[in-house]
Amino acid sequence: MKQVLVTGAKGQLGRCLQSISDAFNDFEFHFTDIAELNITDSQTVSDYFKTHKFDWCINCAAYTAVDKAETEVDKAKSINVEGVRHLAKASEEAGAKLLHISTDFVFDGKQNIAYTEKIKANPLSVYGKTKLDGENVIKDFLSRYFIVRTSWLYSEYANNFMKTMLRLSEDRNELRVVVDQIGTPTYAKDLAYFILELITKDSEDYGIYHFSNLGVASWYDFAKAIFEIKAIDVTVNAIKSESFPTPAQRPVFSVLDTTKTKETFDYKIPFWRDSLKLALMNLK
């Protein structure tokens, strides 16, 4: 049976992977969190790969606090760059394939058509820069890797925009949400299914791929959709980003073009609103 290491398994994507892993019984999964496998510790990573014989490493471990990263630069680098370097090196030495997750925030958002994998990245924030550096480390070390860039993840697990909106609506009847940042909300469970289908296919079409749900939305559209689907009576007021200043600059447009992913793997990706309905149903 193929052995699969999942790092950062207590995060949002890691928990989505765990929740569906029983359906993929060709694999034996080793779900690890920071306590068991701290990816910033090169010796621990190297030892872990020597005591197990992994076929795949799925890296869900990351520093994801976009605003905090502006001041916690060293911490963000140590996880998103050095940690990734340790995993890439250990995977190469062990003959394992690495599937790593990256982000739409590697782009500057200055174009107004969806970003393909061929477009040069130009991150605006420390988080985006560390994620891009992590991608480059993998390209330097490995030939057998998949880097899957995704956007605006949400799910029934961990903290995310969908859960924040629902929580805020419990004691407010009016909310202000940014309308001038455009992207695609992505149900992390759809991404989890894609990841496990991808390793099941055992394709050798290595490289960078974009995976988000289909369609385009602003954060305002996303919030409106959540309340419409749940039939919650909240007034959502559209505001501009300049009325909601944040430490990190975000791309104003970061829609990912998923054509390469759909065509290479013959994969059908759901529309974001359909997935949102499902996620809201799955939320206990």
Interface with ligand NAP (CB under 6 A): 7-8, 10-13, 33-34, 38-40, 60-62, 64, 79, 83, 101, 103, 131, 150-153, 158
Q: Which is nearer to ligand NAP, 168 or 235 (CB)?
A: 168
Distance (Å, whole) CA 81 – CA 207: 18
| Cβ 235 to ligand NAP shortest distance, Å | 25
How far, CA to CA in Å, does 117 sit from each of 102, 105, 106, 222, 266? 12, 13, 11, 25, 17
Q: Which is nearer to ligand NAP, 34 or 238 (CB)?
A: 34
| Cβ 233 to ligand NAP shortest distance, Å | 27
Q: What is the DSSP string of 202-220?
A: T----EEEE---BS-EEHH
Closest-CA residue to 134 (of 37, 51, 67, 64): 64
Q: Which is nearer to ligand NAP, 158 or 214 (CB)?
A: 158
| Cβ 14 to ligand NAP shortest distance, Å | 6
The yes-or-no answer on residue 115 being catalytic is: no
Distance (Å, whole) CA 277 – CA 119: 32
Q: Which is nearer to ligand NAP, 97 or 149 (CB)?
A: 149
Distance (Å, whole) CA 264 – CA 42: 34
Q: Which is nearer to ligand NAP, 130 or 169 (CB)?
A: 130
Q: Which residue in the block uniquely carries the two structure tokens 């049976």?
A: 1
| Cβ 175 to ligand NAP shortest distance, Å | 19
Distance (Å, whole) CA 131 – CA 80: 6
- Residue 194, number of CB atoms within 10 A of its CB: 19
| Cβ 176 to ligand NAP shortest distance, Å | 20
* Choice among 48, 127, 157, 220 that is catalytic: 127
Closest-CA residue to 215 (of 148, 277, 123): 277
Exposure string over 153-163, b if 16+ CB within 10 A, otherwise e: bbbbbbebbbb
Q: Which residue is nearest to ligand NAP (CB)?
A: 11
- Residues with a catalytic annotation lie at 127
